[in-house]
Chains A and B, each alone.
Chain A
Amino acid sequence: GNSVTQMEGPVTLSEEAFLTINCTYTATGYPSLFWYVQYPGEGLQLLLKATKADDKGSNKGFEATYRKETTSFHLEKGSVQVSDSAVYFCALRGFSGSARQLTFGSGTQLTVLP
């Protein structure tokens, strides 16, 4: 079945540091890939997505590139801010007809210190 493996947390960075959160996946076919973010006390918000190989999703300075050869979708940001402190979830939606369920990674807690 489908699975997502995500970098263990928590991650603590200083403001303006470079961020990478690793995500690899196992799936048949060509899944769509997502990063969701959960701020304290809030629900999951879609951060970015990519639907085919070599696509780059980007939003709010975050980027992730769909790498089929390495089955990866690592999240990066060049300069993090205190307001980026949150839990980040990598997820995939399998390519299987009507199947629309998302499979999530375990989440990575990011804390950015001023």
Chain B
Amino acid sequence: EPEVTQTPSHQVTQMGQEVILRCVPISNHLYFYWYRQILGQKVEFLVSFYNNEISEKSEIFDDQFSVERPDGSNFTLKIRSTKLEDSAMYFCASSGASDTDTQYFGPGTRLTVL
């Protein structure tokens, strides 16, 4: 069964460093998303991406964040200058054109900012 994959599973970085989190969505999906979950808190929406552009973003998704689909398979989230409060689990998700309601999630990347 097709699945969303994410790498790395755990990323440790120093405050102020740039990180790139990578996702490979399900191959025929057209809508891509990033969510995050700070430890002990709710899963929060960050951004959605369709047709090579951002379609929605939350107030969390400020200028420090960017997304890119550099090729036909990868979808990346970049944090330019990490802060302590960026420590969280980051989930990528994708959905297809025939069932946009159903989002399929990856296993997540745990980001730890020291």
A residues apposed to B, CB below 8 Å: 32, 36, 41-46, 49, 51, 89, 91, 93, 98-107
Contacts and interface: CB of A to CB of B under 8 A. Distances in A.
Contact of A98 (B55, B93, B101): B55
Contact of A43 (B41, B58, B91): B91
A100 B47 CA distance: 10
Given A41-B107, A102-B33, A103-B45, 7 more contacts: A43-B91, A49-B101, A100-B100, A102-B35, A104-B43, A107-B42, A107-B43
Nearest to A3: B42
Contacts of B58: 101
Contacts of B42: 104-107
22 contacts: A32-B101, A36-B105, A42-B107, A43-B4, A43-B106, A43-B107, A43-B108, A44-B105, A45-B105, A49-B101, A89-B43, A100-B31, A100-B33, A100-B100, A101-B48, A102-B33, A102-B43, A104-B35, A104-B42, A104-B44, A105-B42, A106-B42
Interface in B81-114: 91, 93, 95, 100-108
A99 to B, nearest CB: 6
A104 B91 CA distance: 13
A101 B33 contact: yes
Interface residues of B, number: 26
Contacts of B105: 36, 43-45
Contacts of B6: 43
A44 B91 contact: yes
A106 B85 CA distance: 19
Nearest to A42: B107
A74 B95 CA distance: 25
Contacts of A102: 33, 35, 43, 45, 103
